[in-house]
Structure 1
Amino acid sequence: MPESAKTSPRKASLTRRTGETDISATICLDGSGKSSVTTGVGFLDHMLVSFSRHSRIDIELSCRGDLEVDDHHSVEDVAIVLGSAILDALGTREGIRRFGSALVPMDESLARAAVDLGGRSFAVVKADFQRPVVQGMSTEMVEHFFTSIASGLKANVHLAVLDGFNTHHMIEAMFKAFALAMKDAVRIEGGGIPSTKGVL
């Protein structure tokens, strides 16, 4: 990593308050994987801590949401805020690798992730889960989380579970694969904008 990136960590803080959620987040792309996450959705907390650890993106995030309704608004808005904060921290995206991909096994499960931080939002998520809920998080919200983070991040995100039957393992493998893909994509490896257009 260039010396300038070491002395000037890429950081961003963001708050988002609506009638459904109140979220604050601070992230550092050039971190060590430290996190403090409280969303009120136990499994989402676990996944975001895992994402932070394996992407090495430091995350401080708190969310107060209308969980008396269900988990939908909290999961969706956390993803939007996290994606938007990462986008802010990337700045002009000069020098970043831009692309990242990973395969992650977790026992019987295998997940694949690929990302492009090219400024266009698109998500493709392929997974079939056996359980409808894991520790407070609806499994239907897994796809929505990644769709929402792709929107906030202005990135292409492709995720697929290639094998598996344990729902916890399948989702955790997805988050870890996404983390490793992001770790690659945000890495600074040279000067200039990584696009033939000259802008991202």
Structure 2
Amino acid sequence: MGYHQAGFDVTGVDIAPQPHYPFEFHQADAISFVRDHGHEYDLIHGSWPCERYARVTRWRGNPDDHPDLLAPGREAMQATGRPWVIENVPETASAGLLRPDYLLCGTQLGLQVRRHRVFETSWSGGGDLVAPCWHHRGLHPFDHKGERAYADAMGCTWMTNREARKAVPPAYSHWIATQYLNFTDAEAAA
């Protein structure tokens, strides 16, 4: 949604059905789709599942039960020759799996959600500064996860609560899209 709000035509790809997705959607393996069609897009954004890396999901079992999609996803996006973004949990940067070009939290972007995410980009960061996180008392990373309020707090009003748990809040992708557009404008002016 954030890319749409920034002026992009958006196409989504997921291996699972996404019945509430508001834009063009292809049910497919995202890495295969990028290999076959990535060159057709102006910008590619990969949000690979985080269960393998996130501390918060470790209680669910062995991280090795979840595929490592970061390296193959990056390789597929790089092969397209198109600009790209990879998003995931901060643990991926701590482990050296993602370069933390941007680190965002909902509180930096006016959301009442503490949800940190790292973004690696093909243009290697830079851009606008954002305010530091502000985790006030009573604001927890998973407040309202069992309620409709969580999806709404993230700005994912068209999603179910379950869908929102795996989503990137639109405020994040809008901010990233703006950084990309500012970068391309600066490149064109140079």
- TM-score for the superposition, normalised by structure 1: 0.29
Which of the pair is proportionally richer in strand? Answer: 1
Higher relative contact order (CA 8 A, sep 6+): 1
Q: TM-score, normalised by structure 2?
A: 0.30
